[in-house]
Amino acid sequence: MITTTFGGSGFSAVAAAGSARAIRAEAASSARMSIGATLARYWGHLNRGRQRLCCSPMSGTRTRLDPDVRRGQILAAAREVFVAEDYANASMEAVANRAGVTTGLVNHYFGTKRDLYLAVVADLAAGLPEMVEVDDTGLPLAELVDRNMDRFLDAFERNHEVLAVLLGDRGGLGRDPDVAAIMSRARDGIVLRMAANHAPGGDPSPELMLALRVFQGAAEAAVNEWLRRGRATRAEVHELLTRTLIAMVGGLSER
């Protein structure tokens, strides 16, 4: 520090020292202000980013849905997962990710993976009887059988991966009794709709019901030869099943 006070040079030195201190103080103040402004801008950007993240549709915020709607959403996702993967490789996490929910929510609605698989199979099986059109217009037997055979094969061709799950051809639960019971009810529904076509009075004979059940098993085997094994064409399966059904129920049908 300069302390001399002699003559003009002393006053100049003191003035210079004061100016230097003022310059340094101003510089320090400017630096502090600059750092403060930079930090303020940084935290401002960070907070705005957090707000965008919290409010963005991509942030993972989930909409609260009606329980039935949410259940249907999870079931649809599970159907896709179980069709794409066999039972052993499918996971509850994959279902949750596809549905956009947590694994805990999937468990809340469906319990275990087995329970969820059974729910998927039951949901798919419920629509199988609709493959058979019940006709009340009096179509000739051959025309009715031909038309229903097209509907039957169309359904398998459009959804052969889905139906492979139902028929246990995707590494499902094998001979699980609950799956078997679900499929048995679905097959009964198909047979009852077929019986309604051949016994319009609503009282099919035991012989007719037996013939239709036997035919149902043969139809599944024929479709498997076509879609899964590639050892028959659709046209061949259509012709075989049409002729077989007419031959089996021709003497039993009331049409």
Task: Write out pLDDT tens, residues 2-38.
Answer: 333 334 444 333 334 444 344 344 444 444 444 444 4
Query: In whole angstroms, what is the distance from residue 14 CA to residue 175 CA?
Result: 103
HSE, side-chain direction, 13 A CA sphere, residue 168? 14
* Burial label, 240 (beta-carbon count in 10 A; 0-12, 13-18, 19+): middle
Equal CATH topology for 67-125 and 127-249: no
The pLDDT of residue 62 is: 57
Query: In whole angstroms, what is the distance from residue 193 CA to residue 15 CA?
Result: 111
Segments making up each domain of the chain, as ranges? 7-59, 67-125, 127-249
Query: In whole angstroms, what is the distance from residue 16 CA to residue 1 CA?
Result: 11
Which residue, 147, 189, 145, 197, is CA-closest to 166?
189
Sign of CA dihedral 216, 154, 185, 161: positive
The pLDDT of residue 228 is: 86
Question: Domain 67-125, what architecture?
Answer: Orthogonal Bundle (1.10)
Q: Distance between terminal CA atoms of the chain?
A: 123
Query: In whole angstroms, what is the distance from residue 56 CA to residue 52 CA?
Result: 6
Q: Which residues of the chain have pLDDT under 70?
A: 1-63, 166-174
pTM of the model: 0.70
The pLDDT of residue 254 is: 85
Task: Write out pLDDT tens, residues 86-107.
Answer: 888 999 999 999 999 999 999 9
Tell me which of 1.10.357.10, 3.30.390.10, 2.102.10.10, 1.10.10.10 is the CATH number of domain 127-249. 1.10.357.10
**Angle of CA points 140, 144, 148, to nearest 5°:** 175
The pLDDT of residue 11 is: 33
Query: In whole angstroms, what is the distance from residue 13 CA to residue 122 CA?
Result: 98
Do residues 95 and 74 touch, judged by C-beta distance below 8 A? yes
